[in-house]
Amino acid sequence: MAAITLSAITKRFGSFDALQPLSLEVQDREFVALLGPSGCGKTTTLNILAGLEAPTSGRILIDGRDVTDIPPMQRNLAMVFQSYALYPHLSVRRNIAFPLEVRRAPRAEIDSAVARAAELLEITPYLDRYPRALSGGQRQRVALGRALVRKPAAFLLDEPLSNLDAVLRLQMRAELSGLFRSLGATALYVTHDQAEAMTMADRIAVFAAGRMLQFAPPLTIYRAPADRAVAAFVGAPPMMFLDGIVTDGGAIQAGGLTFPARHAPLAPGAAVTLGLRPEDVSPARDGPTAEVVLVEHYGGNQVVTLRAGPARFCMLSPPDMRIEQGHRIGVSVDPRNLYLFAPDTGRTLAAPGLDPRNETR
């Protein structure tokens, strides 16, 4: 496997900047998720790495070797596409064998590589079927099998699970991370599903509009987001944002509620954006009250939408707790769990995962 470096990569399509200068270092054996909304440049990044698209500027290194001007086949990267791109007229066996047949590998080597990949992916019983006779999850494994037999320097995966139903997706998510860990594979995994990125990746690169906003381990992204956009993108239900003001005592007032805060001193009267994650808000008998706008039951818990003045936020509460729409309910938030952002730039001023002593910004 291999380390991958993207150095100041840009991509223009006509007059449109699809990628701002992007620098990213993926370590050998690392599983990195590229996470971001539709159109932010995830596929473009993979295509450039794979050599299917040339960067407008910048260099690509694989294990220190500059491959920017080297054709795709010689980069030895295996790409798995969202659509799987299987050959319908070839059996599963031949689909998996294809890259080795192109290389004119000896028959015995091909057979043993296919058998090994099929066993690993548990698709041995389907080797003589055609792709149309397979479920989505099975097809997805065939596409992976085809990538595996190449023994690539790294795997590039573009939303490989997005065609699967929710249950299969969850199952494959776990299987894929297990598989890549056991192979010790370097992988770049594109997804717009934050839960996939959070659960599978060693590090997540969060993208928006052609720019990388943050590159960090999942928990850092979650508890110490670089800015409001990153914070908004991870977490389900998502973080809610309230317009707030710093009080004379250093607490945060938002929507008529006062939240005691624990952060480096901010000037009294300063405007801040307060971010609340639903799981950080709890019901409290003697807390300030908010009106219950909506209660949604999810079986294991309920999501309660609350209104305080102009502000709305959500709370996660146990399923057996009776909370009625239209009533008022006391709430509290552990001061350590407040997120604060600069209203103009969106930059993070305070977050649970940031040491408050370092927050002298």
Ligand X SMILES: Nc1ncnc2c1ncn2[C@@H]1O[C@H](COP(=O)(O)OP(=O)(O)OP(=O)(O)O)[C@@H](O)[C@H]1O
Q: Which residues bind ligand X (CB under 6 A)?
A: 13, 16, 18, 36, 38-44, 192
Nearer to ligand X, 16 or 344 (CB): 16
Query: To the nearest whole angstrom, how small is the minimum distance from the Cβ of residue 282 to ligand X?
Result: 35
By three-state DSSP, how is residue 41 classified? coil
Stretch that binds Mg ion, among 38-46, 141-149, 322-330, 334-342 (CB under 5 A): 38-46
Nearest CB to ligand X, comparing residues 38 and 358:
38
Instruction: Calculate ∠ Cα 210-185-213, nearest 5°.
Output: 20
Does residue 270 contact residue 262 with C-beta atoms inside 8 Å?
no
Amino acid at 4: I
Q: How far is the CB of 313 from ligand X (least distance, A)?
A: 28
Q: To the nearest whole angstrom, how small is the minimum distance from the Cβ of residue 19 to ligand X?
A: 8
Shortest CB 180 distance to ligand X, Å: 21
Stretch that binds Mg ion, among 35-43, 66-74, 174-182, 246-254 (CB under 5 A): 35-43
CA 168 vs CA 78, 142, 162, 163, 180: distances in Å:
23, 15, 10, 10, 18
* Residue 83 dihedral angles phi and psi, to the nearest 5°: -90, 0
The nearest distance, CB 235 to Mg ion, in angstroms, is 22
Residues 6+ apart with CB under 8 A from 9: 19, 21, 22, 23, 45, 48, 55, 57, 58, 59, 60
- Tell me how far apart the alpha carbons of residues 147 and 351 are, in angstroms, rounded to a whole number: 40
Q: How many residues bind Mg ion (CB under 5 A)?
A: 1
Q: Which is nearer to ligand X, 44 or 95 (CB)?
A: 44
Q: Cβ 301 to Mg ion, closest distance in Å?
A: 32
Q: Which is nearer to Mg ion, 205 or 308 (CB)?
A: 205
Which of 9, 18, 36, 43 binds Mg ion (CB under 5 A)? It is 43
Binding partner at 137 among Mg ion, ligand X, none, C-beta below 5 to 8 Å by kind = none
Which partner from the list ligand X, Mg ion, none does 298 bind, CB cut-off 5 to 8 Å by kind?
A: none
Residue 38, contacted partner among ligand X, Mg ion, none, CB below 5-8 A by kind: ligand X
Instruction: Choose among ligand X, Mg ion, none what residue 15 binds, the Cβ cut-off being 5 to 8 Å by kind.
Output: none
CB of 144 to Mg ion, least distance (A): 18
Query: Does residue 273 belong to the site contacting Mg ion (CB under 5 A)?
Result: no
CA nearest to 4, candidates 33, 34, 24, 31: 24
- Residue (192 or 263) nearer to ligand X, CB: 192
Tokens 């943050």 found at: 214
Based on CB atoms, which residue is closest to Mg ion, 24 or 354? 24
Could you tell me the two tokens for 282? 């709890």
Contacted entry of ligand X, Mg ion, none for residue 40, CB cut-off 5 to 8 Å set by kind = ligand X
For the CB of residue 39, give the shortest distance to ligand X in the complex, in Å: 4
Tokens 């799981």 sit on residue: 279
Select 234 or 281, whichever has its Cβ closest to ligand X.
234
Task: Dump the DSSP string for 209-253.
Answer: TTEEEEEE-HHHHHHS-SBHHHHHHSSSSPPEEEEEEE-TTS-EE
Q: Which amino acid is at 324?
A: E
Q: For residue 191, which amino acid is it?
A: T
Q: Is 188 helix (H, G, I), strand (E, B) or coil?
A: strand
Site residues, Mg ion (CB under 5 A): 43
